[in-house]
Structure 1
Amino acid sequence: MGPKKVLVNTTTSPKILSQIDLIKRATKGDENANKEVIKRLSSYMNKPEERKEGQPHE
């Protein structure tokens, strides 16, 4: 058998937690959250030149 795996405690940034919450609310039918998700995705897809370095691209 190989070496034993060790669990490491990690924390999730508040920005990611808020995005997860927004997506959960949108999938449950919250119209405001749904509009916000669409707005963010649209701005991400339409402005690739304004992305910060290190973010994924098409």
Structure 2
Amino acid sequence: MLIQHKQVGGKGMFFVEQDGNILAELVYTMPSAEKMIIEHTEVSEELKGKNVGKQLVHTA
């Protein structure tokens, strides 16, 4: 499973995508270079129970 990252300015997300659909995501803001605020996480029913949310947090 490939965790991808996208960031624009002080906002970004780590996500798992398959066939153009986002199956899991972690959305964050960076108010400073040393501080990340995780605003939202979501994992699809398809990936629940597979530690994907935990992997997103560790990657962030």
Place the TM-score, normalised by the shorter chain, in its bin.
under 0.3
TM-score (norm 1): 0.24
Instruction: Name the structure where helix makes up a greater proportion of residues.
Output: 1
TM-score (norm 2): 0.23
Q: Which has the higher contact order (CA 8 A, sep 6+)?
A: 2
Instruction: Name the structure where strand makes up a greater proportion of residues.
Output: 2
